[in-house]
């Protein structure tokens, strides 16, 4: 069949809207009509050429929602008409990682996913007879896409596609980093570095978890009001303070008889390795946990004095907020439907597929929180 898609033919070039060819679902796969897709900073990261796993040409996009329109042989958990969210972190429930209960990083299809192909080693997408790569196993910048059944979450059919697509990455990553990865407790102090589409969801997760002090850190003063909307209690713009942001946060969080400062939990939501170090060092001596969410480009490395870890700080990372997609994503959609979490205000811009490059532009300019393409 044909599908309208935004194709990344080359790194660093705008996406091109073309009609691609799409083969139907094979055994264990489902064909999905994508109704809406968000544009995440990770799409921009890969398009820019910074992603060591980046492949071109490819159909990017990993934050979608849509409807199952066909199923391949052997599919048991989905049927035509189901409303679904594609998962870049599948949940096979059979691999050693899934069975370990210690991680959400299912290994069932990770190697082929990283090679831009389906589990059988081939791509379902082509253009003028040439292969187009899948991206993060999702390729939601195509009106139709194919995914393995294990990489699809069935969700509440009453939920609006143009909002719940964001659960496919940003919402789940931010809230999950707080709940699943950091396991933040009531009364905690926290600092969130980078108040974009992910950082604001970390803030909303912290509020949900009952954190007392929620410090937002961003170079863009426009983000102060955004953070406050979701529960941020203090804002720091590192370019406007006297001295170092680490000392500033440590000072703000001093408490107890010994007056030792540092946040109980810090989160990097920038992808900047220098900020990752600041976040670690702004966490509390003895127990502070710093969670890396941001994705850094090829060749970039993190560093700190080992003494920071010797003295009890914990450096962790999280992918998809530690969420098990088929189990957790339907629950998060229902939290949204029940009014427990907000999504609507963060979707600042919507556009048709033809204007997808404007969505990337808005992200570059720091003008959007999330842009959503509606098919």
Q: Is residue 220 within the footprint of ligand NAD (CB under 6 A)? A: yes
State the residue for tokens 């300019």: 365
- Please state whether beta strands 16-22 and 2-7 pair in parallel, antiparallel, or not at all (unpaired): antiparallel
Cβ 168 vs Cβ 63: under 8 Å:
yes
Q: How many CB atoms lie within 10 A of CB 211?
A: 25
Please, what sign has the CA dihedral across residues 54, 374, 341, 270?
positive
> Is residue 17 a contact residue for ligand AHE (CB under 6 A)?
no
Q: Which of residues 303-322 bind ligand AHE (CB under 6 A)?
A: 319-320
In angstroms, what is the minimal distance from the CB of 280 to ligand AHE?
Answer: 18
Nearer to ligand NAD, 67 or 208 (CB): 208
Contact assessment for residue 6 and residue 141, using Cβ atoms and an 8 Å cutoff: yes
CB 330 within 8 A of CB 154: yes
Three-state secondary structure call for residue 36: strand
For residue 85, the surrounding DSSP H or E stretch is strand 83-86
Binding window for ligand AHE (CB under 6 A); candidates: 2-10, 15-23, 51-59, 360-368: 51-59
363 binds, among ligand AHE, Zn ion, ligand NAD, none (CB under 5 to 8 A by kind): ligand NAD
42 belongs to the binding site for ligand NAD (CB under 6 A): yes
- The verdict on 197 binding ligand NAD (CB under 6 A) reads yes
Closer CB to ligand AHE, residue 63 or residue 162? Answer: 63
The pairing of beta strand 370-374 with beta strand 347-351? parallel
Asked whether position 295 contacts ligand AHE by CB under 6 A, the answer is yes
x-or-dash string of contact with Zn ion, 26-55, rule CB under 5 A: --------------x-x-------------
225 binds ligand AHE (CB under 6 A): no
In the list ligand AHE, Zn ion, ligand NAD, none, the entry touching 9 (Cβ below 5 to 8 angstroms by class) is none
Question: Which tokens sit at 169?
Answer: 């990455």
If binding is defined by CB under 5 A, does position 363 make contact with Zn ion? no
Which residues in 218-346 belong to E strands, given as ranges?
234-236, 265-268, 289-292, 314-317
- Judge contact between 70 and 30, C-beta under 8 A: yes
CB of 77 or CB of 303, closer to ligand NAD: 303
- Residues 105-144 touching ligand NAD, rule: CB under 6 A, are none
Query: Which residues within the stretch 130-189 sit at the binding site for Zn ion (CB under 5 A)?
Result: 169
Q: Rounded to 5 degrees, what are φ and ψ at 359?
A: -60, -40
The binding site for ligand AHE (CB under 6 A) comprises: 40, 42, 51-53, 89, 105, 110, 169, 295, 319-320
């Amino acid at each position: 069949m044909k599908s309208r898609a935004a194709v990344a033919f080359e790194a660093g070039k705008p996406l091109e809207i073309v009609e691609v060819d799409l083969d139907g679902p094979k055994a264990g796969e489902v064909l999905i009509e994508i109704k809406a897709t968000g544009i995440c900073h990770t799409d921009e990261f890969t398009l820019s050429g910074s992603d060591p796993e980046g492949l071109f040409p490819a159909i990017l996009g990993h934050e979608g929602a849509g409807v199952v329109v066909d199923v391949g042989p052997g599919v048991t958990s989905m049927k035509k008409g189901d409303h679904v969210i594609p998962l870049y972190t599948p949940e096979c429930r059979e691999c050693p990682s899934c069975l370990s209960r210690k991680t959400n990083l299912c290994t069932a299809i990770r190697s082929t996913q990283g090679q831009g192909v389906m589990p059988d080693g081939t791509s379902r997408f082509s253009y003028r007879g040439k292969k187009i790569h899948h991206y993060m196993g999702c390729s939601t910048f195509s009106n139709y896409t194919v995914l393995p059944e294990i990489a699809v979450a069935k969700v509440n059919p009453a939920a609006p596609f143009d909002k719940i697509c964001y659960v496919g990455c940003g919402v789940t990553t931010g809230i999950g980093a707080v709940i699943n990865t950091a396991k933040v407790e009531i009364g905690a102090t926290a600092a969130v570095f980078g108040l974009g589409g992910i950082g604001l969801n970390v803030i909303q997760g912290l509020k949900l978890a009952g954190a007392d002090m929620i410090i937002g850190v961003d170079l863009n003063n426009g983000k102060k009001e955004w953070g406050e909307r979701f529960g941020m209690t203090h804002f720091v713009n590192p370019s406007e303070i006297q001295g170092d942001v680490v000392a500033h946060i440590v000072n703000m969080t001093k408490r107890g008889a010994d007056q030792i400062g540092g946040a109980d939990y810090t989160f990097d939501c920038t992808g900047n390795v220098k900020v990752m170090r600041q976040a670690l060092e702004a966490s509390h001596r003895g127990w502070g946990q710093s969670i890396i969410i941001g994705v850094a480009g090829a060749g970039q490395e993190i560093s700190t004095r080992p003494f920071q870890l010797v003295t009890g700080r914990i450096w962790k990372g999280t992918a998809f907020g530690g969420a098990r997609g088929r189990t957790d994503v339907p629950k998060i959609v229902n939290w949204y439907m029940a009014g427990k979490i907000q999504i609507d205000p963060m979707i600042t811009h919507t556009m048709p597929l033809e204007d997808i490059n404007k969505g990337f532009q808005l992200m570059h300019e720091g003008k959007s929180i999330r842009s959503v393409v509606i098919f």
